[in-house]
Structure 1
């Protein structure tokens, strides 16, 4: 499973979740394995400073093979794209990536 965390900064496990998916500065891509979690990529949001392009950012993460997106908030259009493509999302999240991992470990065992 590949998880994209929408973050305000790029500090590995210390990265802070962004309050809004589309305006995040970075994505920290994490792979969940039987052994635990591993950061596999940290990338700037290519659309952070551009005019809104509905579907562009969800398509970008789809191309990366992401199965789950974690953000503080997310607009309905982005949610609709993810739903259409079978990509799960978790919103209302605050804090650092390392603080969210125990929740994902406990509640996503079926993935």
Structure 2
């Protein structure tokens, strides 16, 4: 199983979950043992310039075998784009990458489609937390 997590580095050099998918520094891609869920490989994939939902990052990650993306938050457009590439998204992760992964593996993180709490500035995006998103199950 391969999982991707939008990541940034804090002031102490710790890799933490970035709360904004489209503007993360990089993606941490973790390959887990299917049975034990132990991390076998950790890779870092450069984030595309600009907005993640308008890039080819979903197709790139899918071609590398990523099946799940754990994120702090992301817009519905990015969720839809990832789903089109066969990648399930779970929003609501926080803390360090490894702590967030463990919380998800322990069943403590469920998708939170209504958690946008930051300003999108002038990048053309809006916070659509008043809309009820339609999540499509993966085939």
TM-score (norm 1): 0.77
CA contact (8 A) 2:3 2:67 kept: yes
Matched with 1:6 is 6
1:55: how far off? 4.7
Unaligned runs of 5+ in 2: 108-139
- Identify the structure with the greater helix proportion: 1
Equivalent runs, 1:10-25 vs 2, <5 Å: 14-25=14-25
4+ residue runs over 6 A deviation: none
Equivalent runs, 1:33-52 vs 2, <5 Å: 33=33, 34-35=35-36, 36-45=38-47, 47=48, 49-50=49-50
Q: Any idea what the Cα deviations from partners look like across 1:36-69, whole Å, max 9, x if unmatched?
A: 1133311221x1x336762522122112210111
Unaligned runs of 5+ in 1: none
TM-score (norm 2): 0.63
Aligned residues: 102
Supply the distance in 2 between the matched residues of 1:25 and 1:71 (Cα, whole angstroms).
13
Supply the distance in 1 between the matched residues of 2:104 and 2:51 (Cα, whole angstroms).
32
For 1:104, what is the secondary structure of its paired residue?
A: helix
Higher relative contact order (CA 8 A, sep 6+): 1
Larger Rg: 2
